[in-house]
Structure 1
Amino acid sequence: MRHIRPALPVLALLLCALPAPAARAAPPAGGQWTAAPASGGGTRPSAEGRPYFYLEGAPGTVLEDTLSLSNPSGAPLTLTLRGAAAYNTADGSLAVRRTPDPWIVLASPEVRIPPHTRADVPFSVTVPAGAQPGDRPAALTAALGGREVDIRLHVRVAGPTLSALTVESVRVDTSRGLIRYALVNRGNTALTPRLAVRADGVFGRALDRAPRLLPVELLPAQRVELTEPWPHPPALDRVDVRLDVTAGGGAHSSATAAASFVPWGAVAGAGLALLGGAAAAVRLVLRRRRASRAGSAETPAPQRESAQTGARQ
């Protein structure tokens, strides 16, 4: 672990010439520069390229590392820099907040890089004395014009860690063929969850998917809304869907939901056929009643002879 003095001094930017290109470089298009962690830095030094920064320290310490910027083009570039906290968007993607993180201090918020040159920019992370143990995801952002490059900064405050998550709000979207659910990180470490799905119906097992790694990094205290495709559910059944989610450190959670699948098109067709048959039967009965009444009205009434007539005869 590397520490620096509590007050970060003003550090000069280190400029190194890049190898000259064989031919004259084209004018910069805003997408030729690069930003990455410098080699050999962080609390886990590595001479090889690092995909992200990793800094770990106890509350009250100040940690340091270096951001490396390169300009291989033939014209000078001026990049703006900031450090900010990272978070999960609603769909689980990682994003960087617009407001600066007070823990992060860069040697300079703006860097001018001459042509064919690399600039190493020191920065520090101050862990407050009362900081809670666990992960504090952040990022350094380099920007020029409309282009931004985010370099992940993983800060861990030393102390006890807890891996815990819950799966919630499970529901089956039968119209879209999806299982919708939410994941919530209840611990203080970033998690990469694994999901297993099973559905049991009246007619047997309708779905059985082995655990698989989700393309999501769930940050502490974050909630994400995810979906699991189910393009071929049963045509007619009532099922109980169970989701099992696990992650490193022993994190585990399960949740269930019930759903009914009914072929409403066939049911509607059968219902229309029944209604049509009933209507035809009613019309037939009414037609017969009208015919019967009409026949009764046309038949003459029988003549009755009075007692007096019979007496005269």
Structure 2
Amino acid sequence: MPSRIRSVVPGAVLATAVALLGPAGAAYAASPVPAAPGPDGGRWTAAPAPGGGARPSAQDRPYFYLEGPPGAVLDDRLSLTNPGAAPVTLRLHGGPTRSSGWLSTAAREVRVPPRTRADVPFTVTVPKDAAPGDHPAALVAEGGGRTAGVRVHLRVTGPALAALSVEDVAVERRGSAAVIRYVLVNRGNTTLAPRLAVRADGLFGPALRRAARALPVTLPPGRRVPLTEPWPDPPALDSVDVRLTVTAAGGAQGAAGATYTAVPWAAAALPPVGLLAGAAVWRVRRRGRVAEPRRGAAPTDAARTGLSRSAPSCTALSSTGTNT
């Protein structure tokens, strides 16, 4: 049977003590709410209960934050608001995380009358062998054809360890572009907000430089998150060492890399020696194009002769590589 909350007359606040949790006890507080639809279109909402009897809002507390040592019993209140014209029965339970099993509500079902807000107490019993650090949890309410969850940020006090690793780095070619794949793993006991820096160096110099920036993810302890990094203009012919460095508050840092070899389709049929020869010729010619002659000096006959002699040597190198 759902627990019933008696309606209140306008302007009054009702507090009824209900012994549902043994010696700790629990109390429902019900109060009227405006009949006008709220930010959720007039449907029921779930949020952390505010202090002083105020109306709950995202600006008041967007989530629960509870902190205590192993073995502690922590308590708070969940506000269920029904601005509609009909009563609603809501079922309460913990979220899918293991830490959500530490939560216990005053009742598993609550009937909220029309235009009423019900504050439902709950407790968090921290196991005596709980590891220090962050333990994400959630309270979930279901009813009236919808589901709403409220995050519970639970921290068990004790030595904090911030640690992470970067794993499974790989570069995947996609047409003229590429994508860098990797996995971030939180190896510590604190929630991390990681920052990523990327660099890539090839045979012909730097190929990519990206300064550290915040990633749009949050890593709870033990979480593995696969991520990708776009690379719209990778080199068309090069062997590149890609390096990812990830940092987070508390001194957490991890780094890993992979080698990426770019070969044009036309050159794929050449043997390795031919590819190296062709790369060497390309590099020499590229340097020759960007080199500037000495100011005010015209090319001498010897210089012109040297240039004319250099071409056959390069041709011979390419030819030798091709025939090998």
TM-score by length of structure 2 reads 0.69
Q: Within 5 A, what are the aligned runs for 1:139-150?
A: 139-150=138-149
Letter in 2 for 1:67: L
Partner of 1:253: 254
Does 2:15 align with 1:15?
Answer: no
Q: Within 5 Å, give how 1:78-227 maps onto structure 2.
A: 78-84=89-95, 96-97=96-97, 101-175=100-174, 177-227=178-228
28, 40, 49: which one aligns with 1:38 = 49
Matched position secondary structure for 1:252: strand
| 1:215 positional shift | 1.1
Whether contact under 8 Å (2:99, 2:137) holds in the other structure is: no
- Distance in 2 separating the partners of 1:19 and 1:30: 13
- Which of 53, 57, 67 is equivalent to 2:78? 67
Contact residue 64 and residue 123 of structure 1 kept, 8 A:
yes
Aligned mates of 2:85, 2:23 — CA distance in 1: 33
Q: Secondary structure at the match of 1:219?
A: coil
Amino acid in the other structure paired with 2:231: W
Q: Secondary structure at the match of 1:101?
A: helix
CA distance in 2, matches of 1:78, 1:134: 35
What is the DSSP-based 3-state SS (H/G/I as helix, E as strand, rest coil) of the residue aligned with 1:232? coil
C-alpha offsets along residues 143-171 of structure 1, whole Å, 9 cap, x if unaligned?
22542212110111111100000111111
| Distance change (3 Å), C-alpha of 1:237 and 1:270 | closer
Alpha-carbon distance change, 108 to 242 in structure 1, aligned in 2, over 3 angstroms: same
2: CA distance between counterparts of 1:70 and 1:199? Answer: 54
Q: 1:30 offset after TM fit, Å? A: 9.4
Match in the other structure for 2:235:
234
Number of equivalent positions: 243
Question: What is the aligned partner in structure 1 of residue 297 from structure 2?
Answer: none
Question: What CA distance in whole angstroms lies between the structure 2 residues aligned with 1:260 and 1:82?
Answer: 52
Structure 1 gaps, min length 5: 1-5, 85-95, 272-313
Q: CA deviation at 1:270?
A: 9.4
In the TM superposition, residue 202 of structure 1 has moved relative to its aligned partner by 1.4
Distance in 2, matches of 1:108 and 1:203, equals: 68
2:10 aligned residue: none
Distance in 2, matches of 1:213 and 1:47, equals 24
Q: Which residue of 2 aligns with 1:267?
A: 267
Distance 1:31 1:181, change over 3 A: farther
> 1:247, CA displacement in angstroms?
0.5
Contact 2:35 2:84 in 1 (8 A): no
2: CA distance, partners of 1:238 / 1:158: 48
Same amino acid, percent of matched pairs = 60
Is the 2:49–2:79 Cα contact (8 Å) retained in structure 1? yes
- Cα distance change of structure 1 residues 119 and 178 upon mapping to structure 2, 3 Å threshold: same
Unaligned 5+ runs, structure 2:
1-20, 272-324
* Residue 8 to residue 65, structure 1, CA distance change in 2 (3 Å): farther
Cα offset for 1:78?
1.2
Q: Cα distance, 1:12 vs. partner?
A: 3.5
Residue 267 of structure 2 aligns to a residue in which SS? helix
SS of residue paired to 1:102:
helix
Partner SS state of residue 250, structure 2: helix
| Partner SS state of residue 210, structure 1 | strand
Can you list the C-alpha shifts for 1:70-120, whole angstroms capped at 9, x where unaligned? 111111111111123xxxxxxxxxxx34x8833110011111111111111
In structure 2, what is the Cα distance between the partners aligned to 1:105 and 1:246?
A: 36
2: CA distance, partners of 1:39 / 1:53? 11
Post-superposition, which runs of at least 4 consecutive aligned residues in structure 1 deviate over 4 A? 268-271
Kept after mapping to 1: 8 A contact 2:89/2:144:
no
